[in-house]
Amino acid sequence: MVMMKAAVFVEPGRIVLDDKPIPDVGPLDALIRITTTTICGTDIHILKGEYPVNRGLTIGHEPVGIIEKLGSAVTGYREGQRVIAGAITPSGHSNACLCGCHSQDGAGTRHGWKPLGGWRFGNSIDGSQAEYLLVPDAMTNLAPVPDGLTDEEVLMCPDIMSTGFAGAERGNIRIGDTVAVFAQGPIGLCATAGAKLKGATTIIGVDTVPARLEMARRMGADHVVDFRSVDPVEEIMRLTDGRGVDVAIEALGTQATFEAALRVLRPGGTLSSLGVYSGDLRLPLGPFAAGLGDHTIVTSLCPGGKERMRRLMGVVASGRVDLKPLVTHRFTLDRIEEAYELFGHQRDGVLKVAITPN
């Protein structure tokens, strides 16, 4: 049995590097050799026991790699080809997928829908923080990396770029809109960049870390608000002359940020929620206008599949957005436990870490 190194969930508080067998390749699968991956905030929720996964699961859902072996039924690809796969790996044939809801893919269920069903890597099957990754439904999910793009240039495409942009897309931002983005972590920064691409002309980034506020300006924020210095709701209402914003994007997953996003919405505005919440949410009666304010509240799990990845890499290749600065730290796979400690405690100005084999 040929073995590989992988970051394995042991129990809440413990993800360790261990040996696991290299996966066998089924007819519709592809085995890719990981060249770069990263750690996501969702992985920290798993580490803390806030999101349950099976013990022994390989964690991670943001792969960049090279095709090592193709399943017997896979066509249109070649071994040795550089590819990425999205954090969401839909089957492509379930009722949910055929309705365009790839993230809620229910392949194998009676009705074809399953909450979060498209998120398989590091959730229901082994993920990308390893030397090798088995990609299911390869022809639906593998996206060739264009020549000239580096691993780090496309590393954000599988998840945080797709998720952050989805926050702007689901918010239905229109040209000339005013948008507030609460939290400028990696996903919030991508939401800020997405808001600019969608045509927002006033973008307000909210955070407390000076480096993140400065990065928010680089990603397209016209104003930044340090919520430790001022009340963010009061400041946003001041910046909008009391009108409020057309779209508020919540990118952290806390009651405080969700409620603040609702409080700054104009009547008829849209709250686009990207956060992963660890408890029940409460709707404050006043900002909710007793349910009569014509607000729209939408949620998103990042879109996946090869066409989504192709489009995102096209944005990168065009130069319309540069997410390389989000990679602030680099580790080899044998130091991934150290990387988790740094990322989990948000030390040393970390935004994203790049994990490479050696």
Predicted confidence (pLDDT) at residue 127 exceeds the cutoff of 80: yes
Instruction: Specify the pTM.
Output: 0.95
Q: Cα separation of 154 and 323, whole Å?
A: 8
pLDDT number for residue 301? 95
Token pair for residue 1? 């049995």
Compute the average pLDDT of residues 197-218: 97
Predicted confidence (pLDDT) at residue 344 exceeds the cutoff of 80: yes
pLDDT, tens digit, for every residue of 19-44? 999 999 999 999 999 999 999 999 99
Compute the average pLDDT of residues 78-99: 98
Predicted confidence (pLDDT) at residue 307 exceeds the cutoff of 80: yes
Compute the average pLDDT of residues 7-19: 97
Q: Cα separation of 250 and 182, whole Å?
A: 5
pLDDT number for residue 271? 98
Q: How many percent of the chain have pLDDT more than 70?
A: 100
pLDDT, tens digit, for every residue of 249-277? 999 999 999 999 999 999 999 999 999 88
221 touches 204 (CB < 8 A): yes
pLDDT number for residue 107? 96
Domain annotation for the chain: domains and CATH numbers? 3-159+302-356 (3.90.180.10), 164-299 (3.40.50.720)
pLDDT number for residue 217? 98
pLDDT number for residue 124? 97
Strands 30-36 and 64-70: antiparallel
What single letter denotes the amino acid at residue 278?
A: S
259 touches 286 (CB < 8 A): no
pLDDT, tens digit, for every residue of 162-203? 999 999 999 999 999 999 999 999 999 999 999 999 999 999
pLDDT, tens digit, for every residue of 43-78? 999 999 999 999 999 999 999 999 999 999 999 999
Predicted confidence (pLDDT) at residue 1 exceeds the cutoff of 80: no
pLDDT number for residue 278? 85
59 touches 127 (CB < 8 A): yes
pLDDT band of 328, cuts 50, 70, 90: very high
pLDDT number for residue 154? 98
Residues in the chain: 358
Q: Cα separation of 244 and 269, whole Å?
A: 9
What are the Cα distances from residue 50, in Å, to 46, 57, 92, 310, 346? 6, 15, 29, 32, 17
End-to-end alpha-carbon separation of the chain, Å? 23
